[in-house]
Amino acid sequence: MNRNDAIELKGIIWEDFVNYKKPCMTLMFPKCSFKCDKENGVQLCQNWGLAATPSQTVQIESLIKRYMENPITEAIVLQGLEPLDSLLDVYTVAAYLNICGCRDDFIIYTGYNKSEIPSQAIQDLAYLIPGHFIIKWGRYIPNQEPHLDSVLGVKLASDNQYGELIK
């Protein structure tokens, strides 16, 4: 790894108590194909406002250092837009956590269905992540009743969405 490694983000929530059952740092990734809107035939994504936000380049070493020094956070959440559309940056975050020996939970919120992501990509990430690795799968489908996901400990908006403990 290089001291100058950087990733592109739309934003950071340093102490987040909404997106996971444990206090987490949430990283908002900058890319998305808006597959949910395409499938639903209407613009309904909650992240359209985030898409219009300017991206920022963040030095990964300082980001992870700040995370590791925070006594409150116990997990890192990667979410929307779509982290898996920035897969190299996801690998970079995971690799730095591995180097630091961080065993905190690592969660990816994706709108992809499990069948759409090569299993080798998930295996490669699981290899890098020393602690628990969780993926929230599934696109947003409107007009469904939110349900509590037992893996994530939060409500998800659509019946097809679920958290999976990968490792």
Q: How far apart are CA 122 and CA 125, in angstroms?
A: 5
Which of 113, 102, 123 has the alpha carbon at shortest distance from 167? 123
101: left (phi over 0), alpha (psi -120 to 50) or beta: left
Distance separating alpha carbons of residues 57 and 10, to the nearest angstrom = 9
For residue 48, what pLDDT is reported? 64
pLDDT score of 13? 96
Query: HSE on the CB side for 142, CA within 13 Å?
Result: 11
Give the per-residue pLDDT at 1: 62
Residues 113 and 162: their CA atoms lie apart, in Å, by 10
pLDDT at site 142? 82
pLDDT at 22: 98
pLDDT along the chain (167 residues), means of 10: 82 96 97 70 70 89 95 95 93 93 96 93 93 94 91 95 96
Residue ranges per structural domain of the chain: 6-165
Confidence at residue 143, expressed as pLDDT on a 0 to 100 scale = 86
- 108 has which bridge partners? 78, 135
- Residue 51's pLDDT is what? 72
Tokens at 45, concatenated: 């994504």
| pLDDT value of position 123 | 95
pLDDT value, residue 53? 86
pLDDT on residue 76: 97
- Asked whether the whole model's pTM tops 0.75, one would answer yes
